[in-house]
Amino acid sequence: LAKTTQPISMDSYEGQEVNITCSHNNIATNDYITWYQQFPSQGPRFIIQGYKTKVTNEVASLFIPADRKSSTLSLPRVSLSDTAVYYCLVGAVWSRDDKIIFGKGTRLHILP
Amino acid sequence: DADVTQTPRNRITKTGKRIMLECSQTKGHDRMYWYRQDPGLGLRLIYYSFDVKDINKGEISDGYSVSRQAQAKFSLSLESAIPNQTALYFCATRAQVAGGPGEQFFGPGTRLTVL
């Protein structure tokens, strides 16, 4: 299973763009990259998922370089409500060994 | 109504007691999961199930057991609770999809305290 490494914490200001990078040097060919957001005492919530290049949805963008050994979650124009823990996960498609591993995540604190 | 529900939401019990946490889902997903989360840490996988007859251990299954009573129900049991099992427990579901692992849907969590 691919292990991920993220910064433990980050601070930013309202209205700024925030980029959180995740390293996954031993990502396997079939692995996808998924990001989740978690607020205190709530279950994680799916943000975005991708395999290569760039994926964008209504809340975030995910940038994946050609070697796929890292990925960057980009949150445009953050607000105070984006203060949360963000998890980067790497997992395979249709894997019978379906152990979706959450690391410790990145604690993002948005300042006014 | 929530797609993934957990009962109870909060529970205080004593060392040595047997306790069951229940999870139900209305999403029709085959895959269900139990995680625990300790303060300041990420989620750790306890057990997961692909369907009613297929149950697998996760990272930290010792001291826990599970039962998949139906596609929609997945229960976690602590046969003899101990204080270091005090944690926030989450149930999750996931559908099998093409083109990626898809999205996990999490329940609201059960806060368990073992005295």
pLDDT by residue for chain B (115 residues), tens only, comes to: 569 999 999 999 999 999 999 999 999 998 999 999 998 788 999 999 988 999 999 989 999 999 999 999 999 999 999 999 999 999 999 977 777 788 899 999 999 999 9
CB B112 within 8 Å of CB B19: yes
β-pair partners for B93: B32, B105
Residue type, A33: I
Please identify among residues 6-45 of chain B the ones whose CB lies closer than 8 Å to any CB of chain A. Answer: 31, 33, 35, 40-45
Q: Which residue has the tokens 């604190």?
A: A109
State whether B101 and A34 contact (CB < 8 Å): yes
The pLDDT confidence band at residue A2, using thresholds 50, 70 and 90, is: low
Residue A93 pLDDT grade (very low, low, confident, very high; cuts 50, 70, 90): low
pLDDT in tens, A6-29: 999 999 999 999 999 999 999 988
The CA distance from A85 to B90, in Å, is: 16
Residue A83, token pair as written in the block:
């203060």
CB A29 within 8 A of CB B91: no
Beta carbons of A91 and B56 less than 8 Å apart: no
**Residue A90 contacts residue A24 (beta carbons within 8 Å):** yes
- Count CB pairs under 8 A between chains A and B: 67
Number of neighbouring beta carbons within 10 Å of residue A55: 16
Paired residues of A6 in beta bridges: none
- What would the mean pLDDT of A67-88 be, rounded to a whole number? 96
The answer to whether the Cα torsion of A88, A92, A93, A96 is positive or negative is: negative
Q: What pLDDT does A97 receive?
A: 67
Residue of A nearest to B49 (CA): A98
> Is the pLDDT confidence value at A1 over 90?
no
